[in-house]
């Protein structure tokens, strides 16, 4: 079932979100859009200064922006300290999510030992195995696979094709996008007698309240203890979290980043896209790692860290890259010149 | 149902693909293979000079190659300006694809509001949600999940386990490999009052005609506008395309590359494996990015661009990497030496 | 069905795994745990010296460790040359895997031409297509998709949501984690008349005995010949193996690494997380590539290889990165100074 598109008055939005209003109180808003594409019945926002030039020509009915930018705006505005956050709150009003039907779809295969709240929704083709517990308001999308001894907290939502392998415990309001795999065996191998011996993976995965896990992201179960995401951790798509990793509350990781086994990451960290963090490390709180950086040592001090060569025209890059292979030697040559100079002085 | 393996005469192939023939017109070809493994009834090709040495010993019945290389070839040949493209066209004759049964598999779960052409094929376990439109000749493989308000153009093929989450629109003849997820929420977060606020993701995804999307690749829906792939864009496996990205026609991206939010990539670009392109950038037409490069700024001029340190023996690399941490200082030391020299002259 | 948790005497473990015992023979062990979390009824291990300090306070009933470390241990011990491997063997005793029911789940869709051993287990929602062969003891988890002409060797296990597209042949005891896709089309494109022409992908995939494939990993089918993993190859999660790659026996690759088309990797190699290996290369036996390195040339000599810039504070890094763009020029300036010096001497 779909609800009709909602409508809000400008004064209603100003009051509800405690924003300063400039413009007629009865301006009607039927939706949200970007500065460039909004029409007179839509609300837009300006947060990134890159897009400030779009303000002059916007057709939006209302714009959410800072007091500074509001001075340049010819259409009605809502003034916010953080326009991005304010817009996020307003946009939620216009989100239409198909409401999931409570109950178990007849095509789902459910083990008799599973305990499923009658208010939970189990989609078509789901497989729910032994000892599973699913709380009220939880939604498991089509083809969800919930393996032995997993539990899913109230109001958590798993979209299509999510797999929880074994001993995965989700808190409340966890959101998991399609194709994510939680609780697969960690990559534990011992080399013995010229072949690999698989280390049994016996731990689980614990995901705190309000976490979000991106599409096709993988989080392995711990070897003995659990792999842990504390509350409000946000992982983008195609992230790899190895066994026994712990990620502190409120940390966010961008797409394709990866954390190797047994590393602990602090709270309020920001990990850039494609960044890699080696195993058995400690990364403190409020650490930012920029995109595609490689972390090979503990990081104790909060702050921003980077690695990665800058992009160049391929031919220039080639010349510099070749020289890089001799940088140690070059440094010694400079030291020799300096010594020589000193000797002559 | 399978068709029997097809057979072609050499003159028939020469005529059909406008290629110069050297060898008996009635040579019969039953299949295609590599230079190294082809037998007398198979056609092979030589495009990459790395493999030219295999020409002398090939057992192939026919080889497709350039006029230059043809001089060194002892077996019948078809001469082409671009042997790789010519071989691709010929090989298509020997491709046997199981023909999909039109109709809806009885195990599929289809919303009554979905409009499905009777000539389309919906495989076992598929879930088709409200407002979906599927055109003639489209094929949805097993466990396909087609979410609300998606549309699939004529003759598009989705292999097993493909998920279109919401508002994904595919053009004609689009090919999507297993495990791909299109239309999942973009990674939009606002930090407010010491926790993350999710920016609602309300846009969709538009995929142009003749695009190909690799296995386990993810393409997020836009925040407000759509994420767009223009026509004939080819994405390899495990690529991540973030919200509001636009990729121009005829661009090809190799495995594990990624594009962050709101970046626009031009037409006829080539993006190497594992390359990362940051958000809110503009990359022009006919730009080549080599493997594992990181793009942090706009690129306006066409051409080839690289970053990334060269591979070395680990111990040498270690020494150079340490020096790299002091390259700015080293540069200043050289400048000081130069100044000193000038002063003495 | 679950078995009760097993119990072992210390002398029994010592004998079974040929380990030196220090402590009462009748010490009872009910499980395994880490040094930090084990209780008196559990066995722990010490292999990584990083965790040696935990030995003093461990509450474990028994610790597996080297003779050297055993001297510092106050609780009963089992002494091993390789404690990690010894622990892996012991831990297997405490692994409780739900035993798969032999037979075909009623919701599976099986082509009549498929040959399935009666001792194999086909889970809910599986789709088994034409010409498939599944040997004794093989287990296909929920939603497994086994495409045309695939074969699965005895005692191989595919967890949930695994897709074998076409012509994929698995040896015996192969283990595949959820979301993996084997046998999708390789990324073969010819550029012709201003658009991309798809090279038909006609080969298959061959996976040797005792291989393990991680969650959401992709292995493409060959263009004409097969993509091959020899025996005992271990791939972690989210790895991309392109068409016609060959990986030698006993090689292990960590998460998010990738190998481009037609590259051959030797035996006993270790490929670090996020590493990328370009196409058409030869990498010899016993080569180690560290995390996030890029391999652009053949590697013949065994040994350890690296690339990648070291991590730094972002502001320091920025200064050095800018200088890196002029490293060739800097090297020439140093050469000029040296020449100058020589002229003056």
For the stretch A6-47, pLDDT in tens is 899 999 999 999 999 999 999 999 999 999 999 999 999 999
Burial of A29 (C-beta count, 10 Å sphere; 0-12/13-18/19+): buried
- Closest alpha carbon to A297 in A267, A269, A320, A277: A277
Active site residue A315: no
Distance CA A159, CA C146 (A): 23
Q: Do C198 and B88 touch (CB under 8 A)?
A: yes
- Closest alpha carbon to C33 in C82, C74, C76, C87: C87
Burial of A71 (C-beta count, 10 Å sphere; 0-12/13-18/19+): exposed
What mean pLDDT value characterizes chain C?
95
User: Quick one: pLDDT at residue A3?
Assistant: 59
Distance CA C229, CA C180 (A): 15
Q: Do B187 and A234 touch (CB under 8 A)?
A: yes
DSSP A262-324: T-EE-TT-EE-TT-EE-SS-EE-TTEEE-TT-EE-S-B-S-EEEE--PPPEEHHHHHHHHHHH
Q: Which helix (H) or strand (E) holds C343?
A: helix C327-344
Distance CA B203, CA B223 (A): 5
Q: Residue ranges of the domains in chain A?
A: 8-94, 162-305, 314-344
**Facing residue for B337 by CB, picked from A107, A141, A337:** A337
> C interface mutation test: which of A129, A164, A200, A289 has the most C CBs within 10 A?
A200
CATH classification of C8-94 is 3.40.1390.10, yes or no?
A: yes
Q: Are C310 and B322 in contact (CB under 8 A)?
A: yes
Is C82 a residue whose pLDDT tops 80?
yes
- Chain A nearest-CA distance from C326, in A, is 7
Cα nearest neighbour of C199 on chain B: B88
What subunits touch chain B, counting only 3 or more CB pairs under 8 A? A, C
Residue numbers in chain B where pLDDT is lower than 50: 1
User: Quick one: pLDDT at residue A331?
Assistant: 94
- Chain B nearest-CA distance from C253, in A, is 15
Q: Which helix (H) or strand (E) holds C14?
A: helix C10-16
pLDDT tens per residue, range A233-247: 999 999 999 999 999
Residue B48 is given by DSSP the state S
Encoding tokens for residue B90?
Answer: 């010929």
C-alpha R_g of chain A: 26
Encoding tokens for residue C48?
Answer: 């990584």
Q: How far is CA B169 from CA A98, B137, B146, B177, in A?
A: 18, 16, 11, 16
**Facing residue for A184 by CB, picked from C92, C215, C317:** C215
Q: What are phi and psi of B32, to 5 degrees?
A: -125, 155
Q: How far is CA B126 from CA A78, A161, B143, B331, in A?
A: 45, 11, 4, 62
For residue A134, give every residue at least 6 positions away whose Cβ sits within 8 Å of its Cβ, in sequence order, or none: A114, A115, A116, A117, A120, A122, A128, A140, A146, A151, A152
For residue B241, give every residue at least 6 positions away whose Cβ sits within 8 Å of its Cβ, in sequence order, or none: B217, B218, B219, B220, B227, B229, B235, B247, B258, B259
Distance CA A254, CA A240 (A): 11
Is A130 a residue whose pLDDT tops 70?
yes
Q: Do C240 and B256 touch (CB under 8 A)?
A: yes
Q: Which chain C residues are closer than 8 Å to B216 by Cβ? A: 179, 181, 216, 218, 238
Confidence band, pLDDT 50/70/90 cuts, at residue A2? low
- Closest alpha carbon to C126 in C235, C135, C136, C116: C116
Q: Are A164 and A184 in contact (CB under 8 A)?
A: no
Helix, strand and coil in chain A, % to nearest 5 = 15, 30, 55
Q: Which chain A residues are closer than 8 Å to B306 by Cβ? A: 311-312, 314, 317-318, 321
Encoding tokens for residue C132?
Answer: 């498939």
Give the strand pairing for A28-29 and A8-9.
Answer: antiparallel
Confidence band, pLDDT 50/70/90 cuts, at residue A1? very low
CA atoms within a 13 Å half-sphere pointing along the CA-CB vector of A327: 32
**Facing residue for B304 by CB, picked from A92, A123, A314:** A314
Residue C102 is given by DSSP the state S
Pick the most confident of B96-105, C173-182, C316-325.
Answer: C173-182
User: Quick one: pLDDT at residue A342?
Assistant: 81
Q: Which chain B residues are closer than 8 Å to C324 by Cβ? A: 324, 327
Cα nearest neighbour of B330 on chain A: A331
Which is the catalytic residue, given B143, B243, B280, B315?
Answer: B243
What is the arithmetic mean of pLDDT over C281-304?
A: 97
**Facing residue for B333 by CB, picked from A141, A255, A334:** A334
User: Quick one: pLDDT at residue B345?
Assistant: 66
Task: State in Å, rounded, how far the first CA of chain B is from the last one.
Answer: 88
Residue B299 is given by DSSP the state B
Lookup result for tokens 């779909």: A2
Encoding tokens for residue B119?
Answer: 């000539």
DSSP A129-154: -TT-EE-TT-EE-TT-EE-TT-EE-T
Q: How far is CA B115 from CA B124, B125, B129, B149, B208, in A?
A: 18, 18, 10, 11, 21
Q: What are phi and psi of C55, to 5 degrees?
A: -65, -40
User: Could you tell me the fold of the domain covering A162-305?
Assistant: UDP N-Acetylglucosamine Acyltransferase; domain 1 (2.160.10)
Give the strand pairing for C62-65 and C77-79.
Answer: parallel
Lookup result for tokens 């080293």: B330
pLDDT tens per residue, range C128-161: 999 999 999 999 999 999 999 999 999 999 999 9
What is the arithmetic mean of pLDDT over A294-321?
A: 94
Q: What are phi and psi of C198, to 5 degrees?
A: -80, 125
User: Quick one: pLDDT at residue A99?
Assistant: 80
Q: Are A259 and A242 in contact (CB under 8 A)?
A: yes
Lookup result for tokens 């939006």: A60
Q: How many interchain CB pairs under 8 A, B with C? A: 227
**Facing residue for B321 by CB, picked from C309, C316, C337:** C309
Distance CA B24, CA B28 (A): 9
Lookup result for tokens 């270690």: B318
User: Quick one: pLDDT at residue C345?
Assistant: 65
Q: How many CB atoms lie within 10 A of CB C233?
A: 27
Q: Are A215 and B177 in contact (CB under 8 A)?
A: no
For residue A155, give every residue at least 6 positions away whose Cβ sits within 8 Å of its Cβ, in sequence order, or none: A135, A136, A137, A138, A172, A173
- Chain C nearest-CA distance from A298, in A, is 11
Q: Are A203 and A243 in contact (CB under 8 A)?
A: yes
Lookup result for tokens 């094709």: A161
Exposure class string for B251-283: b at 16+ Cβ within 10 A, else e: bbbbbbbbbbbbbbbbbbbbbbbbbbbbbebeb
pLDDT tens per residue, range A76-88: 999 999 999 999 9
- Give the pTM: 0.96
Q: Do A188 and C88 touch (CB under 8 A)?
A: yes
Burial of A293 (C-beta count, 10 Å sphere; 0-12/13-18/19+): buried
Distance CA B180, CA B235 (A): 11
CA atoms within a 13 Å half-sphere pointing along the CA-CB vector of B185: 22
Which is the catalytic residue, given A30, A243, A250, A314?
Answer: A243
Q: Are B149 and B143 in contact (CB under 8 A)?
A: no
Give the strand pairing for B157-158 and B175-176.
Answer: parallel
Residue B277 is given by DSSP the state E
Encoding tokens for residue A56?
Answer: 């002059």
Q: What are phi and psi of A338, to 5 degrees?
A: -65, -40
Lookup result for tokens 């003759």: B155
Residue A120 is given by DSSP the state S
Q: Are C177 and C156 in contact (CB under 8 A)?
A: no
- Chain A nearest-CA distance from B94, in A, is 33
Q: Which residues of C are catalytic?
A: 243
What is the arithmetic mean of pLDDT over C4-32?
A: 93
Encoding tokens for residue C98?
Answer: 């739900």
Residue B259 is given by DSSP the state E
pLDDT tens per residue, range A154-186: 999 999 999 999 999 999 999 999 999 999 999
Measured in whole angstroms, how far is the alpha carbon of residue A136 from the centre of its chain?
25
Alpha helices by DSSP H, C17-160: 67-70, 83-91
């Amino acid at each position: 079932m779909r609800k009709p598109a909602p409508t809000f008055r400008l004064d209603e939005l100003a009051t509800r979100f405690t924003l300063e209003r400039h413009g007629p109180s009865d301006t009607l808003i039927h939706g949200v859009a970007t500065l460039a594409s909004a029409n007179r019945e839509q609300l837009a926002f300006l947060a990134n200064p890159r897009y400030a030039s779009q303000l002059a020509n916007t057709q939006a009915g209302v714009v959410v922006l800072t007091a500074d930018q509001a001075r340049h705006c010819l259409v009605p505005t809502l003034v916010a300290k953080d326009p991005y956050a304010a817009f996020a709150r307003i946009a939620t009003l216009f989100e239409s999510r198909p409401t999931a039907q409570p109950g178990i779809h007849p095509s789902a295969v459910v083990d008799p030992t599973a305990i499923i709240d009658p208010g939970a929704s189990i989609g078509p083709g789901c497989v729910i195995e032994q000892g599973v517990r699913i709380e009220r308001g939880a939604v498991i999308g089509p083809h969800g696979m919930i393996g032995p001894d997993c539990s899913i907290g109230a109001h958590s939502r798993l979209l299509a094709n999510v797999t929880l392998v074994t001993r995965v415990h989700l808190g409340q309001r966890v959101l998991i996008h399609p194709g994510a795999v939680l609780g697969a065996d960690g990559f534990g191998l011992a080399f013995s007698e010229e072949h690999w011996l698989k280390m049994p993976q016996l731990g689980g995965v614990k995901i705190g309240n309000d976490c979000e896990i991106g599409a096709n992201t993988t989080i392995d179960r711990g070897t003995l203890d659990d792999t842990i995401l504390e509350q409000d951790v946000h992982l983008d798509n195609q992230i790899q979290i190895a066994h026994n990793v712990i990620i502190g509350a409120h940390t966010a990781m961008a797409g394709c980043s990866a954390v190797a086994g047994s590393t602990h990451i602090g709270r309020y960290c920001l990990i850039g896209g494609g960044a890699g963090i080696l195993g058995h490390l400690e990364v403190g709180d409020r650490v930012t790692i920029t995109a595609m950086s490689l972390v090979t040592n503990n990081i104790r001090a909060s702050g921003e860290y980077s690695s990665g060569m800058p992009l160049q025209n391929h031919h220039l890059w080639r010349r510099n890259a070749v020289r890089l292979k001799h940088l140690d030697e070059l440094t010694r040559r400079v030291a020799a010149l300096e010594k020589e100079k000193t000797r002559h002085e």
